[in-house]
Amino acid sequence: MPGERDKATTVLSMVGLPARGKTYIGRRVARYLSWLGHPTRVFNVGSYRRRQIGASQPADFFAPTNKEGRQVLHDLAMTALDDMLAWLREGGEVGIFDATNSTKERRRLVEERCRKEGLPVVFIESFCNDPGVIEANVRDTKLKSPDYVDMDPDAAAQDFLRRIAHYESMYETLDDPNQSYIKIIDVGRQVILNRIHGYLPARLAPLLIDLHVSPRPIWLTRHGQSDYNRHGRIGGDPELSPAGEEYAKHLAEFVRKNAPRDQEVAVWTSTLRRTIHTATKITRSPRTWRALDEIDAGVCDGMTYDQVRIEMPDVWAARSADKFRYRYPRGESYEDVIQRLDPVIIQLERQRSPTLVIAHQAVLRAIYAYLMDRPPGECPSISVPLHTVIQLTPTAYGCEEKRFALPPYVEDQGAGG
Point out the residues that are catalytic.
98, 128, 223, 294
Report d(CA 277, CA 287) in Å as an integer: 13
Nearest-CA neighbor of 80 among 54, 109, 48? 48
Burial class (CB in 10 A: 0-12, 13-18, 19+), 290: exposed
**How many other CB atoms sit within 10 Å of the CB of residue 1?**
7
Strands 121-127 and 181-185: parallel
DSSP-H helix ranges across 211-241: 227-231
> What stretches of 82-136 adopt beta strand conformation (E)?
94-98, 121-127
Residue 409 contacts residue 224 (beta carbons within 8 Å): no
In three-state secondary structure terms, 64 is: coil
**How many other CB atoms sit within 10 Å of the CB of residue 68?**
8
Give buried/exposed letters for 151-171 (b at 16+ CB in 10 A, else e): eeeeebbebbbebbebbeeee
Amino acid found at 131: P
Burial class (CB in 10 A: 0-12, 13-18, 19+), 87: middle
Say which residues have a Cβ less than 8 Å from residue 156's Cβ, sequence separation at least 6: 143, 148
Look at the chain and count its residues: 417
Nearest-CA neighbor of 142 among 128, 159, 127? 159
Residue 392: beta bridge partners? 218, 401
Give buried/exposed letters for 36-63 (b at 16+ CB in 10 A, else e): bebebebbbbbbbbbeeeeeebeeebbb
Largest CA distance in the chain: 76
